[in-house]
Structure 1
Amino acid sequence: MIGLPALYTFAGLVFAAFAIGSLRDRSNAKRLGNAAFWGLLALSFLAGDQLGDLGNGVLVLCLVALAGAGALGSGSAKTTSPEERTELSARLGNRLFLPALIIPVTALVGSAAFKAISVGGTPLFDPKQVTLLSLGIGVVLALAVSMLWLRPPARAPLEEGRRLIDSVGWAAVLPQMLASLGAVFALAGVGEVVGDIAGALIPDGSRFAAIAVFTLGMAGFTMIMGNAFAAFPVMAAAIGVPVLIHGMGGNPAVIGAVGMLAGFCGTLMTPMAANFNIVPAALLELKNRNGVIRAQIATALPLLAVNLVIIYVFAFR
């Protein structure tokens, strides 16, 4: 059965290639720091199970130390020339984006179709991870189509990937870090503490008030922690599971899915989500480092209100 280990191995090999490319890039004054950072990340994907909790903890501390010391920098990726890119852009126009559409289409189709594929009665893909596996397959397919269609240099995918990951830097691993923080908060009982506070604010039997506290709490905690995956364990333990699901009989699928979407509304409005909001502003060289957030608020607030209504209407039918 193909499961997450295959996806982790693929990701680990990609980061290992980034580390090797960084080590060989003498145009980057911080190439050793880049190589160490992406090499450690590759190690976590390739051998995290063998390292154990203590080993992974030390690895994370090393990543934090490298990022905090400013050891990462950007070099140069030698692939196609600016003239070649301009020519391709002028000739193909928006068709250049077609390979990117392969990824979501494969993820959507694979999530439904791959569950039915079995060999000797055993599912070929882990049914619990079929969406992530479909996403990985979509990436490989999109890359293959791009290479056959555009005929770039063989090293272009890894070199351009390294250029992009160097531009993003340590923020690339921020979502995983914050999601882990959410799990730590949940184990520490933060959800129960928040639940006690929220319980004093919610009138007895008020479904609307409970949903409002849950959705606004998801957005608020996401803004504080920078990631909806970090906020979800806290708010699920505080309001989602004990109040909305067990107490009021709500549909767990609706509450969980739309609750996460409420958290993503908070992602749109916080600088703590640096990889989404601050890094793009830097890459686009915007004069206002919060320009991305300002542009997204007008979408985030109405969507947050709509999420509240969706849970109220569809989770308790």
Structure 2
Amino acid sequence: MITLDHAYLVTGLMFAAFAILSLGDMQNPARARNALFWGLVACSLLFGSYLGDFGNGLLVIALVGIGAFGRLGVGKPATTSTEERRAGALHFGNRLFVPALMVPLFAVGGTLLAKHTAAGRWLISDLQTTLIALGIGCLAALTAAMLWFRPPALAPLQEGRRLMDSIGWAALLPQMLASLGAVFLAADVGQVVGDLIARAIPMTSAFLAVFAYCLGMALFTIVMGNAFAAFPVMTAAIGLPFLVHKFGGDPAIVCAIGMLAGFCGTLMTPMAANFNVVPANLLELPDRDAPLNGVIRAQIPTALIMLVANMVLMYVLAFR
């Protein structure tokens, strides 16, 4: 049976390869720093369950120290030229997107297979099924691309290393912020936030509770930078005590749409570096260093419209 541990193993080996290739990249002056950073990430994925809380804590502190006191360099692997890529794009056309489309197809198909068939339940663990299916989809897409396009054997690792070097420490931001949300939940921050919001917005009706929950998810995400960090706090503060217990809302609908409301906040904050700052840097936008770069300014109208839409959907669907 394929479990989440297998996904961790494959991902850890990938980051270990990034570390080894970084160390051998003589054109990158920060190669030792890059190798250490990605090597620690690999250790976390491969041996995290054996290190214990204290060991993992030290590992995280080391990652933060490397990211804070020394910028990662961008690797310069031997790769195809711009002319070769243009020629390949003209030759394959839209067929280039086939491997990329395989990833979501395998993720959705694998999840449905595991949930609704005996063979799927035997093949894929019922814990974190979607993540496991996503990993299978990535491996299937990689295999298809290697067989079809015939690139050099190390091309996926070299290009993956170059991309991760460009993203840098921001690649770990979702995991860090999700962990912070769990810490806030354990510290009972949700109760404090709930009391403060209840004083500002009286929870006298389901509509006001929906408004407070969705708006709070968006605002808290803007501050935290990640909806996964905001979700446990706001759900403990408003979602469960008011929307579900007091007004009888469907918890699945409340939580699903509440997370979408948080993602609206993700679109409007530079704190979500992996979503907003990284694309601006990769695209080399001229205003990427501004407090609200071009990516965020372009997303704000859509985010506000979707936030209102999520409020309406939650009010209409959760209390039927």
Length-normalised TM-score, structure 2:
0.96
**Which residue number in structure 1 is paired with residue 302 of structure 2?**
299
Give SS of 1:127's match.
coil
- Letter matched to residue 314 of structure 1: L
| C-alpha deviation, 1:186, in angstroms | 1.0
Does the aligned pair in 1 maintain the 2:115–2:121 contact within 8 Å? no
Superposition pairs of residues 149-168 of structure 1, within 5 angstroms: 149-168=148-167
Does the aligned pair in 1 maintain the 2:75–2:161 contact within 8 Å? no
Q: Distance in 2 between matches of 1:117 and 1:312?
A: 34
- Whether 1:312 and 2:311 are equivalent positions in the alignment is no
- Letter matched to residue 48 of structure 2: G
Does the aligned pair in 1 maintain the 2:217–2:258 contact within 8 Å? yes
Q: How many aligned positions are there?
A: 316
Q: Distance in 2 between matches of 1:122 and 1:273?
A: 35
Deviates more, 1:96-105 or 1:230-239: 96-105
Q: Distance in 2 between matches of 1:241 and 1:206?
A: 15
Does the aligned pair in 1 maintain the 2:113–2:121 contact within 8 Å? no
| C-alpha deviation, 1:124, in angstroms | 2.8
| C-alpha deviation, 1:136, in angstroms | 0.4
Deviates more, 1:156-165 or 1:77-86: 77-86
- Whether 1:277 and 2:285 are equivalent positions in the alignment is no
| C-alpha deviation, 1:2, in angstroms | 2.3
| C-alpha deviation, 1:33, in angstroms | 0.3
Deviates more, 1:243-252 or 1:35-44: 243-252
Q: Distance in 2 between matches of 1:261 and 1:123?
A: 32
> Percentage identity across aligned positions?
60
Does the aligned pair in 2 maintain the 1:19–1:36 contact within 8 Å? yes
Q: Distance in 1 between matches of 2:286 and 2:79?
A: 29
RMSD between aligned residues:
1.4
Q: Distance in 2 between matches of 1:283 and 1:122?
A: 40
Does the aligned pair in 2 maintain the 1:117–1:124 contact within 8 Å? no
Structure 2: which 5+ residue stretches go unaligned?
Answer: none
Does the aligned pair in 2 maintain the 1:185–1:191 contact within 8 Å? yes
**Which residue number in structure 2 is paired with residue 78 of structure 1?**
78
- Whether 1:16 and 2:16 are equivalent positions in the alignment is yes
Q: Distance in 2 between matches of 1:175 and 1:47?
A: 20
| C-alpha deviation, 1:99, in angstroms | 1.2
Q: Distance in 1 between matches of 2:127 and 2:247?
A: 28
- Letter matched to residue 45 of structure 1: L
- Whether 1:95 and 2:95 are equivalent positions in the alignment is yes
Deviations 1:135-173 (A, max 9, x none): 001101111111111111111000000000000000000
| C-alpha deviation, 1:202, in angstroms | 3.2
**Which residue number in structure 2 is paired with residue 231 of structure 1?**
230
Q: Distance in 1 between matches of 2:121 and 2:147?
A: 34
Q: Distance in 2 between matches of 1:115 and 1:218?
A: 30
